[in-house]
Structure 1
Amino acid sequence: MKALVLAGGSGTRLRPITHTSAKQLVPVANKPVLFYGLEAIAAAGVREIGIVVGSTHAEIEAAVGDGSQFGVEVTYLRQEAPLGLAHAVLIARDFLGEDDFVMYLGDNFVVGGINDITERFARDRPAAQIMLTQVADPRQFGVAELDAEGRVVGLEEKPTAPKSDLALVGVYLFSPAIHQAVAELKPSWRGELEITDAIQWLIDDGRRVESSVISGYWKDTGNVEDMLEVNRLVLESVEPRTDGTVDGASELIGRVVVDAGAVVQRSRIVGPAIIGPGARVLDSYVGPFTSIAADCAVVGSEIEYSIVLPRASITGVRRIESSLIGHDVVITPAPSMPRAHRLVLGDHSQVQISS
């Protein structure tokens, strides 16, 4: 079995962060979200991975390299524009050959890995196998319709009137039959080749499509709220560790990681939290569910439930929360300005002004 990882999307929902960074490399718990997917694929025994890249290819190729850090071999496949998930399968045809493959969306996060679903696919040999999860608003996703026996009978991409609350998780397993389906597709109203249409083609052609409803955690880390939620989830499992320098005037409470080269002075850090290598936290408070990346500076400030990317500087600011702060950002207090009230009041007015 091979793997096809999609890392070519532009990440419009994470702008302005993704104006300068690939969305798949935005970190949770100080590790790019793409790396969690590559680790899950490697853990499932897959050793050949094709990564579909777009305009951010240089950044992704620099971060992932040849795949040896994950114990896999990586081939990069250029996609000139994000023309749909099925289009990614189309351009990967030569790489995939006649092998079964798992397709994994590079900005998705699945707790528990994919070992079980890959083993089930290898055992049962359907034409395709999809993962589903219940969602509050299925109109934002590809939605599956199941019959009384739980078999997939229909799929629809972002329907206005969903037939179920079961959304497709960004992990799919395919036999080579998918290539015939993709070759028959026409672009959807969105101008894309939809993978849901390709799977529907398999169903209509009498091919067997299996599904499993995951009980674990899944997130499409496409917006800031989801990134922060995944960061919270991953931090919940960190083990406390102090490899950096923490002075006697500082206090670490709960599960706190202080990486090598980091310095914490006269500060209070309440975990779960990570202070990355080379970061400095001085005269500050870092609250739960916060990831401070490498070479950041937090000085005389308070921050919690946030992600801070490398080399950002926060000085003299109270208070920051529920935030995603990009690379090399500099945050300082606004200059103090005199405050005054300008009033035009009629006769017999009564006015209350906070002082």
Structure 2
Amino acid sequence: MKAVILAGGEGSRLRPLTLGRPKPMTPLLGKPVLGHILDLLRRHGVKDIAVTLRYLPGAVTDFFGDGADYGVKLTYFVEDTPLGTAGGVKKCMDFLGDEDFLVISGDAVCDLDLTELCALHQSRRWAASLALCRREEPLEYGLVRVDGEGRVLGFVEKPGWSQVDTELVNTGVYVLTRRAMDLVPEDTEYDFGKDLFPQLLAKGEPLYGWESEGYWQDMGDCKAYLDSAADALTGKVKLDLGRGLLTTPPAGVELRPPCWVGERVWLAPGSIVGPCAVLGDGSTVETGAVVERSVLLGASVGEGAEVTGAILCKGAAVHRRAMVGPGAVLGEGAAVGAEAIVAPGVKLWPGRRVPEGGKATSSLVTAGSAGALKFSDGGALRGTVGEELTPEAMLALGAILGERGQVGLGWAGGDGAGMLGRAAGCGVAAAGGRALASDALCPSAGAWVGRYYQLPVTLFIQQDSDAAELRLFGPWGLPLPRGERRKIEGALLRGEGSRVPAGRVGTIDTVTGARSGYAQEAARLSRLSSIPLRPTRVQVPKGGAANEALAAALTAMGCRVSRGEGRGQPTLSADLGGFRLSAWDEEGRAVAPERLLVLLTLIEFENGGGRAALPAWAPAAADTVAAAFHGAVLRLGRDGEEAEELWRSLPWLWDAVFAGCRICARLGLTGERLADLDQACPRFATARGEVPLRSGRGRVMGAVLNSDPAARSQGEGVRAQVGEGWVYLVPMSRRSALRVVAEAADAETAAELCDFYRRKVRELDQEN
């Protein structure tokens, strides 16, 4: 069998380790990572190999030549433009012919039993066979859902926790048939996971998922690189370590095995090395120095210095009594002065220096310095003003966003938010973009400005005391998709961001009227008819910018709005920055958020909508409403782009100001009370609970799907119908636990159903 190695990656998340070299050429235990893949293929009898290249192809071809030194025969295919994983393999089809062939990544570390995979594929004759492995933290990978026989059911690329219902991830190791590759277009960017495999499933072609017990590690970042090196030394992955495994220490050296030492390495008496230390060719460790769980690629560690859990590239130097913390990376020629400190996770780009006695607490890169800001699963960046959220970090974020051309900006809550917003605006201008700073006073209003002007991205900063929350919205006023947020995270981590010459510097412009414009449009678009509305009395609590916007919008509709709380008229409140509506009826009874969503769905169908798009967690009562009108409810995550497009067109389902106007438009049209409208919805109650887990979230979610015939994946979470009731299970994002939401006709039944599934989840957790 022939093979194709995908070796065109740049390795941006591995910088500065990969600066100046393609990712497959990253040195690992005496040879490039690609060399270990060639060793693996040769051990399994695969010797006729195609290699796809794109970034710095000469670095690969010059080193490996025709492959004779590795006992294989190499044929190279260079992509002039990016073709994706499947598109790159398509270029190799004349080489591969009509027989089945193997595909493997050139920048992963693995010892999978390729012989077993190929034999299973040949016995089943399916269109493609995929090697899978388990990950308890699978967010950085592509999930693969399979049934009990290994047949692939679907894929999720780079999921959020709400989408995790399995631990099986795609390794990028496949056996493919010619008929599968015939679907790949010529000279077109096309991927296996995103394009080809879903297309094969849609055509009814069977795909097989083989769960491997071997080792596989995507060398996606510096932590994974260090883990791979340590795992090779401890025997978790079987690699050819050559003669570098050191068992007998030089005189006077304290060796804590396992350690790997290359050629021309100097270990001074009194130095301490290991465990899990890799000292590449030409490295130096002076007297009293400590090097533990670190990789030195021809670097030097001075007298009494300490290096723990770090990577030191060629020519990097850590001087006398300096300290380098876990996760730190020193690029080629970087230097840490005597008695200086490099904090954990800090990266020094090539040639950068920490002065004697100094302390590096943030990365020093060519494009500026920025901390490792991370989005929450809900899409927000949170931190303390002046600590995680600094002017420097906002400059870097603005420079990245500015590459999109126009950027909306808004802030509220304090001078700190204004400072951060203006710093982001300067970054946008520095990248040649145009920042539009609006007078929006809450996140939902800021999102509306982005929607009104169709801006590629809008940033809103909400300050609360010393803390602040940053939200990014796309052109539809909805949170920026997770894939886009990941790109921004990576660019911040790598210190990327454009800078243009003085003649091309962008502008920071002010946009006014957002407050009145937001309210006026919510009032206009939420009306159900051109018929004049009865003057509806409604209360809006005092305080909060979102409530100011809600009161203004309801007034624009002709409602008689009073500020405060009390009985006798409905009370509406815009919470969570204007994205959640809370309500109390005329008797002061709270109308739960899930009931409000069903109520808004009822209004939509009664108004002749015919279809509604709802979140995965939305109550099944909404489906009952749709059935009564012979309509349909689409679920986000389950029903793809069709649901996303419909969701974008119904802002009253996700914007509290629009939702409040929509409800009052109905009350003003019919004259009924909110309590009566609530009674018109199907009766249901919900109960909620959490189950802490000992095993992985994806493993338990997969066990639920496999053990419960009624359970169905929703794209985000799992639903199961139990009699007349429903249960929704979804992983928690911030801790290892599952949330259980039960729905039934009454509160007692819902509570019983919730308790039953909580016990079931605990049992599955113990079994797995």
TM-score normalized with structure 2 length: 0.40
Residues 256 and 97 (structure 1 numbering): CA distance in 2 closer, same or farther, change over 3 Å? Answer: same
Larger Rg: 2
Report deviation, 1:175. 1.4
1:281 equivalent to 2:302? Answer no
1:269 equivalent to 2:273? Answer yes
Report deviation, 1:113. 4.5
Secondary structure, counterpart of 1:254 in structure 2: coil
Q: Aligned equivalents of 1:2 and 1:182: distance in 2?
A: 19
Match of 2:296?
A: 292
Q: Does structure 2 retain, via aligned residues, the 8 Å contact 1:104–1:170?
A: yes
Deviates more, 1:277-286 or 1:61-70: 277-286
Cα distance per residue 1:285-326 (max 9 Å; x no partner): 333322323x43222222122333333332225212333333
Q: Which amino acid aligns with 2:356?
A: P
Secondary structure, counterpart of 2:307 in structure 1: strand
Q: Does structure 2 retain, via aligned residues, the 8 Å contact 1:143–1:156?
A: yes
Cα distance per residue 1:313-352 (max 9 Å; x no partner): 3222521233333334333332358xxxxxxxxxxxxxxx
Report deviation, 1:138. 4.2
Q: Aligned equivalents of 1:255 and 1:150: distance in 2?
A: 38
Match of 1:342?
A: none
Deviates more, 1:250-259 or 1:167-176: 250-259
1:250 equivalent to 2:253? Answer yes
Q: Which amino acid aligns with 1:282?
A: E
Q: How many residues align?
A: 329
Secondary structure, counterpart of 1:115 in structure 2: helix
1:195 equivalent to 2:192? Answer yes
Query: Any gaps of 5 or more consecutive residues in structure 1?
Result: 338-355
Match of 1:302?
A: 306
Of 319, 329, 332, which aligns to 2:337? 332
Structure with more helix by fraction: 2
Match of 1:177?
A: 179
Residues 288 and 110 (structure 1 numbering): CA distance in 2 closer, same or farther, change over 3 Å? Answer: same
Deviates more, 1:50-59 or 1:131-140: 131-140
1:68-87 superposed matches below 5 A: 68-87=68-87
Q: Does structure 2 retain, via aligned residues, the 8 Å contact 1:284–1:298?
A: no
Q: Aligned equivalents of 1:149 and 1:84: distance in 2?
A: 30
Report deviation, 1:180. 1.1
Residues 14 and 25 (structure 1 numbering): CA distance in 2 closer, same or farther, change over 3 Å? Answer: same
Over aligned residues, Cα RMSD in angstroms?
2.7
Residues 40 and 65 (structure 1 numbering): CA distance in 2 closer, same or farther, change over 3 Å? Answer: same
Q: Does structure 1 retain, via aligned residues, the 8 Å contact 2:233–2:260?
A: no
Q: Which amino acid aligns with 1:224?
A: C
Match of 1:241?
A: 246
1:91-102 superposed matches below 5 A: 91-102=91-102
Q: Which amino acid aligns with 2:24?
A: Q
Q: Which amino acid aligns with 2:221?
A: N
Secondary structure, counterpart of 1:85 in structure 2: helix
Q: Does structure 1 retain, via aligned residues, the 8 Å contact 2:337–2:356?
A: no
Of 222, 225, 228, which aligns to 2:226? 228
Report deviation, 1:194. 1.9
Secondary structure, counterpart of 1:277 in structure 2: coil
Q: Which amino acid aligns with 1:309?
A: C
How many percent identity over aligned positions? 27
Q: Aligned equivalents of 2:335 and 2:104: distance in 1?
A: 35
Q: Aligned equivalents of 2:201 and 2:70: distance in 1?
A: 35
Q: Which amino acid aligns with 1:265?
A: A
Report deviation, 1:229. 1.2
Report deviation, 1:54. 1.0
Residues 9 and 43 (structure 1 numbering): CA distance in 2 closer, same or farther, change over 3 Å? Answer: same
Q: Which amino acid aligns with 1:331?
A: V
Q: Which amino acid aligns with 2:336?
A: I
Cα distance per residue 1:219-278 (max 9 Å; x no partner): 1111112111112111213784369x93x3322233334434322112122333233333
Residues 156 and 272 (structure 1 numbering): CA distance in 2 closer, same or farther, change over 3 Å? Answer: closer
Secondary structure, counterpart of 1:155 in structure 2: strand
Q: Does structure 1 retain, via aligned residues, the 8 Å contact 2:259–2:278?
A: yes
Secondary structure, counterpart of 1:20 in structure 2: coil
Structure with more strand by fraction: 1
Q: Aligned equivalents of 1:235 and 1:2: distance in 2?
A: 30
Report deviation, 1:184. 8.8
Q: Aligned equivalents of 2:149 and 2:263: distance in 1?
A: 54
Q: Aligned equivalents of 1:62 and 1:169: distance in 2?
A: 28
1:99-138 superposed matches below 5 A: 99-138=99-138
Q: Aligned equivalents of 2:13 and 2:56: distance in 1?
A: 16
Secondary structure, counterpart of 1:225 in structure 2: helix
Q: Does structure 1 retain, via aligned residues, the 8 Å contact 2:289–2:302?
A: no
Q: Which amino acid aligns with 1:299?
A: G
Residues 90 and 250 (structure 1 numbering): CA distance in 2 closer, same or farther, change over 3 Å? Answer: same
Q: Aligned equivalents of 2:136 and 2:356: distance in 1?
A: 44
Q: Aligned equivalents of 2:111 and 2:285: distance in 1?
A: 31
Q: Aligned equivalents of 2:199 and 2:258: distance in 1?
A: 49
Secondary structure, counterpart of 2:292 in structure 1: coil
Q: Which amino acid aligns with 1:318?
A: A
Q: Does structure 1 retain, via aligned residues, the 8 Å contact 2:109–2:218?
A: yes
Q: Does structure 2 retain, via aligned residues, the 8 Å contact 1:181–1:199?
A: no
Q: Does structure 2 retain, via aligned residues, the 8 Å contact 1:235–1:289?
A: no
Q: Which amino acid aligns with 2:330?
A: I
Q: Aligned equivalents of 2:12 and 2:168: distance in 1?
A: 24
Q: Aligned equivalents of 2:207 and 2:214: distance in 1?
A: 21
Q: Which amino acid aligns with 2:268?
A: Q
Q: Aligned equivalents of 1:303 and 1:112: distance in 2?
A: 32
Secondary structure, counterpart of 1:271 in structure 2: coil
Q: Does structure 2 retain, via aligned residues, the 8 Å contact 1:25–1:60?
A: yes
Q: Aligned equivalents of 1:81 and 1:310: distance in 2?
A: 31
Secondary structure, counterpart of 2:184 in structure 1: helix
